[in-house]
Amino acid sequence: MSADYVVPAQVITVETEVKKSRFITCISPAHSRQEALAFVEEKRIEYLDATHHCSAFVAGAPDGGAVVGFDDDGEPSGTAGRPMLNVLQHKRIGDVVAVVVRYFGGVKLGAGGLVRAYSASVQQACEQLPLEQRVALRAGVLLCDYAREQMVRHHLDQFHASLEQCDYGQSVRMMILMPETGREDLTRHLYNVSRGQIIIQWQDDV
């Protein structure tokens, strides 16, 4: 089960210089591999004349279940993308992509120097990155009879559950969304007040 975690609150760009090479770090929210790769491509176009466009991303919760990836983009294997990813994971930031654009300054840094430079670039950017809490949400399907609809709506408000969709057939079918932390309390409460007539079927995290 995904726990709450922090995510980037906005896109930022931070520039550093190491032995005449410019390192421009761009960090953005990214909720999927597709969003992360699209941001990398956007920076590749924006900094078209740069020597390298190295990247790393964590799409999902940093403590498990996330899709991760990295790219050295021509730098020696293991000297850029992986160190960048290590910083993001150590910071426990989720739904994030980092791109470090390098303009070669004429002085070779060596493998160790590259690892330090790319790590430090992302580290420095993360220290300036505004973060916000991402609350794990759970979707559920609730069935009730027409007589209980208003009562259910009242209790959903009390437990901070949002009603996403409501369908009317032989019974009322409600699609709800709420923070994972309150799910069991709402389930128990509705079961008790309806004497077992209202049960919520919870779906996968969203």
pTM: 0.69
Q: Which residues does the chain have with pLDDT short of 70?
A: 1-3, 204-206
Q: Are residues 114 and 46 in the same domain?
A: yes
Angle at the Cα of 54 from the Cα atoms of 111 and 20, rounded to 5 degrees: 60
CB 56 within 8 A of CB 97: yes
Q: How many Cα atoms within 13 Å fall on the side-chain side of residue 154?
A: 5
Q: Are residues 191 and 143 in the same domain?
A: yes
Domain range holding 19?
5-134
Q: Are residues 130 and 188 in the same domain?
A: no
Domain boundary (103, 134, 165) is at 134
- pLDDT for 48: 95
39 CA to centre of own chain: 14
* Number of H-type helices and E-type strands within the chain: 5, 11
- pLDDT for 3: 60
Q: Are residues 25 and 119 in the same domain?
A: yes
Q: Please count the structural domains in the chain.
A: 2
